[in-house]
Amino acid sequence: MAIEDVVAVVAVALTVGFTWPQVFRALRHGVHGVSVAAITLSMVSAAAWFGYGIAEGLLPVIIANLGVVTGQAVVSMELVRHGSLSKRGATGAIAAAVTLILACQVSALTTPIVTVAGVVAIVSVLTQLVEVRREPHALEGLSAGTYGILTSVSATWVLYGILEGDVVIIATNLVIFPMAAFITWAASRSHHELDELDELPPSPHP
């Protein structure tokens, strides 16, 4: 197996798993600090890539993005349950995802759709970065694990792009990498601060 194939396998495995720490954190700790736009845009972008995988018969792409779509759909339902995302908004995001999957089966639309999906993926991470900067000490519901894995995902795809000489893959993931790394650090710091507050003894009543 060529080295680029090994790198691709690792990238796919990481991509499948990166949303699930966020799923588990949302179920245990709620969704405070999670950007609604980041989750819905990520789901829509992954749906476009899932449709691309079906259109091109690329099983690794199908598997990787099915994992992302499923995980982000679960987080979207948690956002609805906590009142952060309206049912209409969730329905609209799911409808957009399904539409893109179907539209990708039209050969003339496949490449333009996945090109835009790459930009949407960057915007998704950017919107979470904005949320982190807005409330850096209130990120209880944001998973550091998810963005830590995303940092590894983007680094792995950069390596793959270098091996394949694919400038688009390199450029996209070079943009995502520092944003994901910063979000990971900020979420970890916020969780540490919250843990320290929980360990403080209660203040005596006057």
Query: DSSP letter string over 11-42?
Result: HHHHHHHTTHHHHHHHHHH--TT--HHHHHHH
Decide: pTM greater than 0.85.
no
The encoded tokens of residue 202 equal 């209660």
pLDDT tens string 69-112:
999 999 999 999 999 999 999 999 999 999 999 999 999 998 88
34 confidence band (pLDDT: 50, 70, 90): very high
Q: Is the dihedral of CA 188, 191, 193, 199 positive or negative?
A: negative
Where residue 169 falls among pLDDT bands split at 50, 70, 90?
confident
**pLDDT-derived band of residue 52, with 50, 70 and 90 as boundaries?**
confident
> Are residues 149 and 21 in contact, defined by beta-carbon separation less than 8 angstroms?
yes
CA 52, 63, 149: angle at the middle one, nearest 5?
Answer: 105
Q: Is 22 in contact with 71 (CB distance < 8 Å)?
A: yes
Q: How confident is the model at residue 117 (pLDDT cuts 50, 70, 90)?
A: confident
Does 198 score more than 80 pLDDT?
no
